[in-house]
Amino acid sequence: MIEISVASGKGGVGKSTVSATIALRIAQTGRKLVVVDADADAPNMHLILGIDSWDWERPYSDSWVAQINQDLCTACGECYKVCPYQAIYVQEGRYYINEVICEGCYTCTLVCPVKGAIVRRQTESGRLRGVNTKYGFPLISARLNPGRPNSGKLVTEEKGIARGMSPDVVLVDSAAGIGCQVVSSLAGANMAILVAEPTPSSFNALKRVHKLTKHFMQPSAVVINKYDVNEGLTREIEEYAQENNMDLLGKVPYDDSIPKSMALMRPVTEAFPDSPASKALLSVADRVLEILDNWADWFRAFRPKRPEPYRPLIIKPEGI
């Protein structure tokens, strides 16, 4: 099994569009593929693939919240004083807990003088869901409930479900940024495909997420989207990729057909197969297929160099 993570470090650069195109091409080869939408805060892969219902859906509970038993509470206010998240508020002389803000840290329970007046209970963090798409591969997705933590654990659970299906390839569409969701998306992956556009913010985000891939010792490849809107910065991204031994998979031009295909809830290569963006995206996907066919050679060529171990400088005094 080979696991590929598609990341960007910044939202809105076309990462999900690239992921969807690669997924369709891999599925056409007959490989057993599972796609994971690892953006639990704002999942959108199902929109690109035209999915409006799920085959299964189940709750995911991995967080705690405190709850005040009003029958036992003496309204002493000790919990209100120590809550580090300011989740406790007063209403008509009674104390209540805002469950959206509460992190279940147990502090209020420890200081409460009345046993059983404040208890913790497990709460639903989000929902896991899956569907067999019409394109021949399953999609595993998740949705984090508003205000709930542990999005990284939710992504890890998604990937565990995908790996349990024993596929040939797991394709992970990561969230934007470099937070816990992205760390969970990259952890355990065999390679990372980093999508960038020629803007200063996207270029800086590319550098940040590349640091993560180097931390995990993962070979990385680059796709430049909307390359023709700033060809000078595109050249800088190409130079950065070359200096850091990153394979440039391809460049995708700016094309109005991409937002139009999203409005139609269809992949752009299916809705507008003759558009310039579709042809460029298919070229990128074909390059990924070449990598899968020649995985061992590509890995040896583009894997990061292991950093030299730290050796402290020891200066011996004269005469010793």
Structure-block tokens of residue 242: 């070359």
Tens of pLDDT along 265-277?
A: 999 999 999 999 9
Domains and CATH numbers, the chain: 2-51+133-302 (3.40.50.300), 62-124 (3.30.70.20)
Give the Cβ contact number of residue 206 at 10 Å: 25
pLDDT band at residue 2 using 50, 70 and 90 as cut-offs: very high
Among 132, 177, 141, which Cα is nearest to 159's? 141
Q: Which residue has the tokens 């705690």?
A: 64
pLDDT band at residue 309 using 50, 70 and 90 as cut-offs: low
Q: Which residues face 95 on adjacent strands? A: 90
How far is the C-alpha of 249 from the C-alpha of 203, rounded, in Å? 16
Assess whether pLDDT exceeds 90 at residue 310. Answer: no
Cβ contact 224:251 at 8 Å: yes
- Strand, helix or coil for residue 247: strand
HSE of 110, CA atoms in CB hemisphere, 13 A: 7
Contacts of 174 (CB under 8 A, 6+ apart): 5, 6, 7, 8, 15, 38, 39, 181, 182, 185, 186
Among 283, 262, 280, which Cα is nearest to 271's? 262
Tens of pLDDT along 235-251?
A: 999 999 999 999 999 99
Assess whether pLDDT exceeds 60 at residue 313. Answer: no
How far is the C-alpha of 247 from the C-alpha of 295, rounded, in Å? 13
In this prediction, residues 74-95 reach a mean pLDDT of 93
pLDDT band at residue 105 using 50, 70 and 90 as cut-offs: confident
HSE of 292, CA atoms in CB hemisphere, 13 A: 24
Contacts of 234 (CB under 8 A, 6+ apart): 198, 224, 227, 228, 251
